[in-house]
């Protein structure tokens, strides 16, 4: 019987993505990192393009008894429309230029830091890909297209998009990886104390 835990699932995903070569070949490592980021950006941009071309602004399609909704909202701010009232030049600096610079730094950090775990690399790639998708929208379209809404009382979301889903998934992957590392370090510490 095969025993799979979160750690082994991450290893399988990492190996299937070629991340087993991450420490030995810098060029391959950088290409894989860029590919994962571009895959996230691509999924985000394709989904937003479909929504922009097939759903009118502020109209809605409801599914699963109204628990899942596709709606098109153009968000000129950041998360949950924060910052949408900031004046023009300051808006561009705070919501486009600074985030773009941070994303470029993040790519450099990922490529240059070989000490990161595979799961952390994947998580950061998801976060950068999602962030880049939203920054691209702000620069090209002047707003971010949000279109997904989930309502399963008492749980409900704001309207979000695939980029937000990538960012959230990246954070969750990193938190799981940190928790597993902490548990492993604790176990190793306990084993060493027993010696």
Round to whole Å and give the CA distance between 182 and 190. 12
**Is 137 considered catalytic here?**
no
Rg of the chain taking only CA atoms, in angstroms? 20
Q: Point out the catalytic residue in the list 44, 137, 164, 177.
A: 164
Q: Point out the catalytic residue in the list 84, 146, 151, 185.
A: 146
For the chain, what is the largest distance between any 2 Cα atoms, rounded to a whole number of angstroms?
67
Q: Where are the alpha helices (DSSP H) in the chain?
A: 6-16, 26-54, 88-92, 98-112, 118-141, 162-194
What values do phi and psi take at 155, rounded to 5?
-85, 130
What values do phi and psi take at 109, rounded to 5?
-60, -45
Nearest residue to 41 via CA among 102, 121, 111, 126? 126
Give CA angle at 138 (136, 144), nearest 5°. Answer: 100
Round to whole Å and give the CA distance between 72 and 125. 26
**Is 146 considered catalytic here?**
yes
Q: Helix, strand, or coil here: 191?
A: helix
Residues labelled catalytic: 146, 164
């Amino acid at each position: 019987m095969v025993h799979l835990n979160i750690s082994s699932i991450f290893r399988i995903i990492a190996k299937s993505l070629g991340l087993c070569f991450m420490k030995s070949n810098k060029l391959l490592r950088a290409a894989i990192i860029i590919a994962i980021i571009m895959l996230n950006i691509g999924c985000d941009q394709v989904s937003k393009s479909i929504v922009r071309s097939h759903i009118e602004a502020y109209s809605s399609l409801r599914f699963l008894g109204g628990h899942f909704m596709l709606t098109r909202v153009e968000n000129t701010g950041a998360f949950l429309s924060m910052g949408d009232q900031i004046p023009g030049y300051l808006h561009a600096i705070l919501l486009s230029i600074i985030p773009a610079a941070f994303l470029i730094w993040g790519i450099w950090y990922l490529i240059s830091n070989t000490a990161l775990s595979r799961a952390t690399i994947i998580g950061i790639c998801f976060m950068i890909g999602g962030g880049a998708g939203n920054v691209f929208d702000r620069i090209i379209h002047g707003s971010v297209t949000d279109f997904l809404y989930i309502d399963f009382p008492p749980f409900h979301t704001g309207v979000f998009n695939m980029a937000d889903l990538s960012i959230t998934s990246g954070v969750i992957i990193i938190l799981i990886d940190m928790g597993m590392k902490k548990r492993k370090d604790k176990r190793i510490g306990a084993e060493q104390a027993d010696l």
